[in-house]
Chains A and B, each alone.
Chain A
């Protein structure tokens, strides 16, 4: 109903909308009268009278009327909550509210209304607080405790009684604890399945059965995860009202546009983003969108637009809060940061505009001219970032002076399952969440001794000319075991809460989707692990917490190292990011999302198998596509990519850059040409990973295998 009312303000002539609101209020009136709730009945009656006039076109909805109706809705909601909690309406004086609605009915003279409004506001809050304080607190508490998810997305707050009757037949309320338990059991099943799959030998029947078990388990896991999902509209639904109230309070005109409300997110994550999102919306209205006269002066529509957009991108949900306001002035951000002594003057001079913009995420930063009660208290964007990063998400900001600001929250689909890279240190495996990982550098044993530089006990590595502080995992964990014979190492370049450093590990395994298990309190106290997990091979691994490692190793904020992120990312919606490589004399590209890792290997390591180039990594063989032309080179770069289930490698001379590609239409047709894209305004061929032939006699892909198996049957 709240949604309907705010919509009504935009489209005051929408008869259908009016009828919908009228019906809702009428239902409340009818039901409550029947049940003997007299306060509700008289309030609903007053509202109905006003709505009746609106519906019949005798009155036109305006801001005053909508405010009145929203206030009515507030009281109705309080009373309903009180009924739910205490079983009675509570006591309160509704005369003022009814009077206010009556005055609105007569389209009271404009001068009279503000006076009335003031009076009614006061008495209303008094009445409300009298009922609310005790009962609301209790209800809030009780609801939290039961932690029940309403699986069905109920029709907002409208007459809950009616809704519950209608949905009772097709939906259930399920205890979150039960869902968590189911999730755990499914995790257990997945592991048992993995072990069975490893044990299955040559027995065809058993192989088939285990394949079937594999599929059923995967489906089951998906279904249980699905049960934990809720549409983001659960969080979005409160914004129309909030935006409206805030805009009025600040004398601004704001139109709220929401997209992708049906996008689903894990229940616990939805809870976690509520605050950061609310904060971002407040910020956008308070700092972003300018006052109407300023907007007009700047040649913009007096009414500002705030856009909330949610969509899924791979295994992430992106939530964008964008406004078409004044944008952020880089100079002001810099001045403010200097004034608050967040950075030094020398440092500020070195930073690019985009890097300066990231300063707003530092604690204690606020550019608001004055501290308002809406925002500007200096706790702001840093809290947004901390909260989002806590759940494995990321925050990006993009702003253009005079054009507006876009804040992008990148949230993982689910907390329970996290993509992680498995790393080894002294023979023990650890999981490194990929959210924090920006790149991997391989160092051969000579390189370890040559390229790792020491400054009074602090290890550093020159990454593209800049010094990267290094943390050796084995010494951090005080692991006593000796390093393995080969002293080679990998540097995982991590970006945790704005701090950048390299974590040195002995070796890497493949990335895995891990199920996060909490640690007992004794082990949490160590402070370096965020949990533990059971790997596909049944082994356990501790999950490293990149932020905590940075803190314990005294890694400071490193703002200058954002160059890895392409500055244009904000404008690349719908475009694919590619890894650009030098292949012989031409450029070639692979989609960035399929790239697993990049390695420099000696050419001599490339071997031939039935005339096919292959590369051996410990126990696994990697089919290669050789795109190097100069066989005289001693080393080559191998880009390891994921092609569905298998991994393939592309050997190139070197890796050039990451860029977003624009599809090219074939002349005369309107279809995008295959295998080619426009990268940096140059035509570039896209390598089709699927065309790299499989290894002779290799294990077929899962899908084909099942088909084959069924054919045998």
Chain B
């Protein structure tokens, strides 16, 4: 127990990020924001829904609306099943579809850089910045920006 307390003090600055992969890019989401990770569940498509809606998933007796990061980034749809991260949004829970959930990484606030100005507007709106890893970049995602309610308000129909 004491070691845990010491750890907290010592690692105050360290942020734990869950890494996810979409296409070739590695994205990071603060672990504290993730409620649950669902491994490749069956999705039900919703006809007439906005393009970025990935479908419905059954989650703890509720119906979970999912947002597809792939489609948000205008990437071609993926044939294989996708993993889902569950977040709490403005209008209840929502899910984020990603190609694959990876390991948990620790990053330091000092390694954070905001979005480069050359990034296209669509991505600028979605990404919160990036952490410099030893040999790669971890693009930071902010669940609030991926909330379907917010996307519905922002996205041009």
**Chain A residues whose C-beta falls within 8 Å of the C-beta of B49 in the assembled complex:** 522-523, 526
Whether the Cβ atoms of A428 and B48 lie closer than 8 Å is no
CB of B124 within 8 Å of the partner chain: no
CB of B143 within 8 Å of the partner chain: no
**Chain B residues whose C-beta falls within 8 Å of the C-beta of A517 in the assembled complex:** 61-63
Contact with A along B134-157 (1 / 0, CB 8 A): 000000000000001101100000
Cross-interface CB contact of B152 among A184, A518, A525, cutoff 8 Å: A525
CB distance from B68 to the nearest CB of A (A): 13
> For B42, B47, B49, B57, which residue has the most chain A Cβ atoms within 10 angstroms?
B47
Q: Which of A183-205 contact B (CB under 8 A)?
A: 184-185, 187-188, 191
**Chain A residues whose C-beta falls within 8 Å of the C-beta of B63 in the assembled complex:** 517-520, 531-534, 540
Report the bound CA distance from A370 to B151 in whole Å. 52
Whether the Cβ atoms of B61 and A188 lie closer than 8 Å is yes
Whether the Cβ atoms of B61 and A184 lie closer than 8 Å is yes
| A and B contact pairs by CB, cutoff 8 A, 27 listed | A184-B60, A185-B61, A188-B61, A191-B58, A428-B45, A428-B47, A519-B63, A520-B148, A520-B149, A521-B91, A521-B152, A522-B53, A522-B65, A522-B91, A522-B149, A522-B151, A523-B53, A523-B56, A525-B152, A528-B48, A532-B63, A534-B58, A540-B42, A542-B44, A542-B46, A542-B47, A542-B56
CB of B131 within 8 Å of the partner chain: no
CB of A347 within 8 Å of the partner chain: no
Closest to A517 in B: B63
CB of B102 within 8 Å of the partner chain: no
CB of A539 within 8 Å of the partner chain: yes
**Chain B residues whose C-beta falls within 8 Å of the C-beta of A539 in the assembled complex:** 42, 44
CB of B27 within 8 Å of the partner chain: no
Whether the Cβ atoms of B47 and A522 lie closer than 8 Å is no
**Chain B residues whose C-beta falls within 8 Å of the C-beta of A521 in the assembled complex:** 91, 148-149, 152
Whether the Cβ atoms of A523 and B65 lie closer than 8 Å is yes
CB distance from B155 to the nearest CB of A (A): 10
- Interface set of A (CB-CB < 8 Å, partner B): 184-185, 187-188, 191, 428, 477-479, 517-523, 525-526, 528-529, 531-534, 538-542
CB of B92 within 8 Å of the partner chain: yes
Whether the Cβ atoms of A540 and B149 lie closer than 8 Å is no
**Chain B residues whose C-beta falls within 8 Å of the C-beta of A191 in the assembled complex:** 58, 61
Report the bound CA distance from A525 to B58 in whole Å. 20
- Interface set of B (CB-CB < 8 Å, partner A): 42, 44-50, 53, 56-58, 60-63, 65, 91-92, 94, 148-149, 151-152
Closest to B43 in A: A540
**Chain B residues whose C-beta falls within 8 Å of the C-beta of A525 in the assembled complex:** 152
The 6 closest A-B pairs by CB, nearest first: A188-B61, A477-B47, A540-B44, A520-B65, A184-B61, A517-B63
Whether the Cβ atoms of A520 and B48 lie closer than 8 Å is no
Report the bound CA distance from A518 to B148 in whole Å. 15
Report the bound CA distance from A481 to B92 in whole Å. 31
**Chain A residues whose C-beta falls within 8 Å of the C-beta of B92 in the assembled complex:** 520
- Do A520 and B91 contact each other (CB < 8 Å), given the known contacts A532-B56, A532-B63? yes
**Chain A residues whose C-beta falls within 8 Å of the C-beta of B44 in the assembled complex:** 428, 532, 539-542
Whether the Cβ atoms of B152 and A538 lie closer than 8 Å is no
CB distance from B92 to the nearest CB of A (A): 6
CB distance from B97 to the nearest CB of A (A): 15
Report the bound CA distance from A187 to B61 in whole Å. 6
Report the bound CA distance from A538 to B59 in whole Å. 11
Whether the Cβ atoms of B46 and A526 lie closer than 8 Å is yes
CB distance from B147 to the nearest CB of A (A): 9
Whether the Cβ atoms of B56 and A477 lie closer than 8 Å is no
CB distance from B54 to the nearest CB of A (A): 12
- Do A526 and B48 contact each other (CB < 8 Å), given the known contacts A521-B149, A521-B152? yes
Closest to B46 in A: A523
> For B42, B49, B58, B149, which residue has the most chain A Cβ atoms within 10 angstroms?
B58
**Chain A residues whose C-beta falls within 8 Å of the C-beta of B91 in the assembled complex:** 520-522
**Chain A residues whose C-beta falls within 8 Å of the C-beta of B152 in the assembled complex:** 521-522, 525
Closest to A534 in B: B58
- Besides A539-B42, A540-B42, 17 more A-B contacts (Cβ < 8 Å) are A188-B60, A191-B58, A428-B47, A478-B48, A518-B63, A521-B148, A521-B152, A522-B65, A522-B149, A522-B151, A523-B56, A529-B46, A534-B58, A538-B58, A540-B44, A542-B47, A542-B56
